[in-house]
Amino acid sequence: MQSLDQKTANIIRGLAMDGVQAANSGHPGMPMGMADVATVLWTRFLRYDPAQPEWADRDRFILSAGHGSMLLYSMLFLTGQALSIDDLKRFRQWGSRTAGHPEFGEAPGIETTTGPLGQGLANGVGFAMAEAWLRSRFGESICNHWTYAIVSDGDLMEGVAHEAASLAGHLGLGRIIYLWDDNHITIDGATDIAFTEQVLARFEALGWHTQAIDGHEMEAIAGAVAAARDVTDRPSIISCRTTIGKGSPNKGGRSAAHGAPLGPDEVRLSKQVLGLDPDKSFDVPEDVVGYVRQRDADRKTLRQAWEERLEAHPEKALFLQLLSGKLDVDSIVWPSYAAGAQLATRKASEAAIQAIAKALPGFVGGSADLAESNLTHIKGAGNFQKGSFDGRNIAFGIREHGMAAICNGISLHGGLRPFCATFLIFHDYHRPSVRLSALMHQPVIYVYTHDSVWVGEDGPTHQPIEQIQSLRLIPNLWVVRPADAVEANEAWRLALARNDGPTALLFTRQNLPVLDRSKLGAAEGLRRGAYVLLDTPDAKVAILASGSEVSLAMEAAERLGAEGIAVRVVNVACMELFDQQDSAYQREVLPLSLPRISVEAGRTLGWQRYGVEAAVGIDRFGASAPGKTVAEKLGMSVDNVVATVRSVLA
């Protein structure tokens, strides 16, 4: 007779087969292979309370191998946290909560969106960093949990995973335990056609604690997890040697079990092998449910004891305020600037960061080894390092992709508002993680400096041309280019006040004039995305500009005005926000009667949405020369803007 442990694992295998078969789509192999690991983890180690599945001090579980989503969905059903059997039956269907890959927000217990491999592993590092910061700041009595993940061969091959694992090892994040589904199989065949490295040796070199076990021996699994929990000065990874599609007589251990339904005949044969009723689908015996949930009373008691400790904690109010994610932006005392002063917006951003940090204790972040160029160091706030996890400056190292994915994890964990910074040109290394920030509605703030060809001598490899418009293609990402130092304050305010998605702040290296707001539109207009900066009676044309090109547009407007051509200058600081305004406001800013031209130091594609008749921009790569020379040679000059306006009016 099967033990309840083994029976539970086989029921998980049955649910995985049935869900994928019902959808006629999916990945049954990984859930079948890791069912034993999942059974041990949920029944013996994971700390959670199904009555309060979003309890702040719960352990976090991440399915980095998101293709095996039926494993997570089965466990959330069996543990009674969120999903019903009907949810499992609607796997991969329109409107269901059981998407092909886990999607954050669909149900409690889905801690992050995992699909692109390596992302979940990197997110987990962010989760552990947030836990370490809060534990260091508030104490173990109210923050004392672990981050677990199941990772696959594919996760470990991706560069983002290596970046994140390297940082985790350096930091000694001892609350991470990753279980590697070491099944030796990928879509194209055995892993050894492309992946023959000594994985555990690599992780040892990165500073991790490592173990290797049989992933189907439950006591070995339990022993390894317990041993990992005893190691508190470094993260742990456990190689679980498994058979993909375990229980399938004809497809187990083969690529055929990875990414397609087993087929009705093979499902029936597999159930017979596993001791399941081949005539039943989605069958879950009551004794299995009872076994998985038998400790629920203890779980509730554990959570209630935590609530009592929180109630008595002297900083309860601050802790709950940080967890709420709502920031009091009105408490920030912003720096002020005199009209006419010359200041790079990255320098203004630096001043804004200091003001924010003074007012918002959960504001943390760092750069990809560019703090001295991005100007993102929080002065006097300490570094987040092993032994001092309450520091607010994170040295991410030269790991742009890992940095962004880690910030997603910090945000998802709750309690901190993270930002990360690099040069705009390196957004390309950020992009997959930025896309997931937007998909998951996480308010991560991305700081990009050196935002145009004014970078100069570094040449075309460092001069962003397509990056601004490329960022704007990502749904739910706000892309903000402030025109001067005063607007840099507004850009930061906008990003901090947002709770439903990420914001990209684009700042200049070169100095820009601080605009005279006594004669021009107020900087608060940025809060609506675009606004009329220079409103001239009887205007004949509208110049639309963003960022550093706003001052260029103002110079052109002044010259044209001297020639008798009245110009309206519209500052389009954030297209995404302007597009959300009502049509009346949009028509007020951009009257249909005015011909329009756009001015931006980047690709012109995208400005056509505002009906521009001509676009002054850069549709080629840059060159190595002083920034002013490069800009002028590529048409970013007052002369070219003036000539373009004349051409349109003619």
DSSP code, position 226: H
Selection from 455, 457, 403, 406 nearest residue 429 by Cα:
403
Read off the pLDDT of residues 614-639 as tens digits, 9 standing for 90 and up. 999 999 999 999 999 999 999 999 99
Please tell me the distance from the alpha carbon of residue 502 to that of residue 365, in angstroms, as a whole number: 14
Residue 254 resides in a domain = yes
Of the chain, the percentage scoring pLDDT greater than 90 comes to 99
Nearest Cα residue to 531 out of 472, 486, 484, 577: 577
Task: Kindly state the average pLDDT of the residues 73-79.
Answer: 98
pLDDT at 89: 98
Count the helix, strand and coil residues of the chain and give each as a percent rounded to the nearest 5: 45, 15, 40
pLDDT digits 0-9 by tens, 215-239: 999 999 999 999 999 999 999 999 9
The answer to whether residues 69 and 107 belong to one domain is yes
Last residue of a domain, one of 513, 541, 562: 513
Contact 225, 47 (CB under 8 A): no
Pair 288, 335 in one domain: no
Same domain flag for 553 and 641? yes
- Structure-derived torsion over alpha carbons of residues 250, 254, 256, 261, reported in degrees to the nearest 10: 70
* 604: number of Cβ within 10 Å: 17
Q: Which of 299, 319, 341 is the last residue of a domain?
A: 299
| Domain-ending residue, one of 281, 299, 317 | 299
Give the helix/strand (H/E) hosting 93: none
Residues of the chain with pLDDT > 70: what percent? Answer: 100
pLDDT of 1 strictly over 90? no
Average pLDDT of the segment spanning 584-607: 97
Q: Are 234 and 169 in contact (CB under 8 A)?
A: yes
Q: Looking at 350, 400, 549, 576, which residue is catalytic?
A: 400
To which H or E segment does residue 236 belong?
strand 236-241
Taking Cα atoms as reference points, which of 588, 541, 589, 533 lies closest to residue 561? 541
**Cα(118)–Cα(163) distance, integer angstroms:** 10
The reply to whether 405 and 548 lie within a common domain is no
User: Residues 142, 311: contact at Cβ < 8 Å?
Assistant: no
Q: SS3 of 78, please?
A: helix
Same domain, 288 and 341: no
Looking at the structure, do residues 471 and 566 belong to the same domain, yes or no? no
Q: Is the pLDDT of residue 2 over 90?
A: no
- What is the tens place of the pLDDT at every residue in 251-294? 999 999 999 999 999 999 999 999 999 999 999 999 999 999 99
Instruction: Calculate mean pLDDT across residues 166-195.
Output: 96
Please state, rounded to an integer, the average pLDDT across all residues of the chain.
Answer: 97
Residue among 18, 17, 91, 26 at smallest CA distance from 65: 26
List the one residue out of 164, 208, 139 whose CA is nearest residue 390. Answer: 139
Between CA 123 and CA 133, with CA 127 as vertex, the angle to 5 degrees is 140
How do strand 567-572 and strand 530-534 relate by DSSP bridges? antiparallel
| Edge-to-edge order in the sheet of strand 236-241 | 60-63, 147-152, 176-182, 236-241, 209-214
**488 and 534 fall within a common domain:** no
End-to-end, the C-alpha distance of the chain in Å comes to 90
| CATH number, position 469 | 3.40.50.970
C-alpha–C-alpha distance, residues 17 and 211, integer Å: 30
Residue type, 106: E
Closest CA to 346 of 494, 509, 456, 526: 509
- CB of 393 within 8 A of CB of 378? yes
Tell me, yes or no, whether 320 lies in a domain: no
Residue 315 lies in a domain: no
- The answer to whether residues 508 and 537 belong to one domain is no
Provide the token pair at 430: 């950020």
Q: Is residue 226 domain-shared with residue 338, that is, in the same domain?
A: no
The verdict on residue 114 lying in a domain is yes
Q: pLDDT tens, 22-52?
A: 999 999 999 999 999 999 999 999 999 999 9
Q: What is the tens place of the pLDDT at every residue in 333-385? A: 999 999 999 999 999 999 999 999 999 999 999 999 999 999 999 999 999 99
The residue-averaged pLDDT of 133-142 equals 98
Are residue 93 and residue 158 in the same domain, yes or no?
Answer: yes
Q: Is 307 inside a domain boundary?
A: no
- Cα–Cα distance for residue pair 330/300, rounded to 1 Å: 38
SS (H, E, C) 446-503: EEEECCCHHHHHHCCCCCCCCHHHHHHCCCCCEEECCCCHHHHHHHHHHHHHCCCCCE
Q: Is the pLDDT of residue 650 over 80?
A: yes
Range of the domain at 539: 527-649
Give per-residue pLDDT as tens, 484-535. 999 999 999 999 999 999 999 999 999 999 999 999 999 999 999 999 999 9
Domain count along the chain: 3
Ramachandran quadrant class, 441 (left: phi over 0; alpha: psi -120 to 50; beta: rest): left
The rounded distance, in Å, linking the Cα atoms of 64 and 236 is 15
**Sheet of strand 530-534: strand arrangement:** 530-534, 567-572, 541-545, 596-599, 614-616
Asked if 368 and 486 sit in the same domain, the reply is yes
- The residue behind tokens 């609530």 is 307
In a domain, 502, yes or no: yes
3-state secondary structure of 522: coil
Give catalytic status of residue 204 as yes or no. no
Name the token pair of 418: 């993270």
Token pair listed for 377: 């160091």
Question: Residue 552 is part of a domain; what is its CATH number?
Answer: 3.40.50.920
**Same domain, yes or no, for 509 and 531?**
no
User: With bands split at pLDDT 50, 70 and 90, how would you rate the model's confidence at 72?
Assistant: very high
Q: Give the SS3 label for residue 69.
A: helix
Residue 520 counted as domain residue: no
Cβ atoms within 10 Å, residue 50: 18
Domain presence at residue 249: yes
Q: Can you give the pLDDT at residue 291?
A: 98
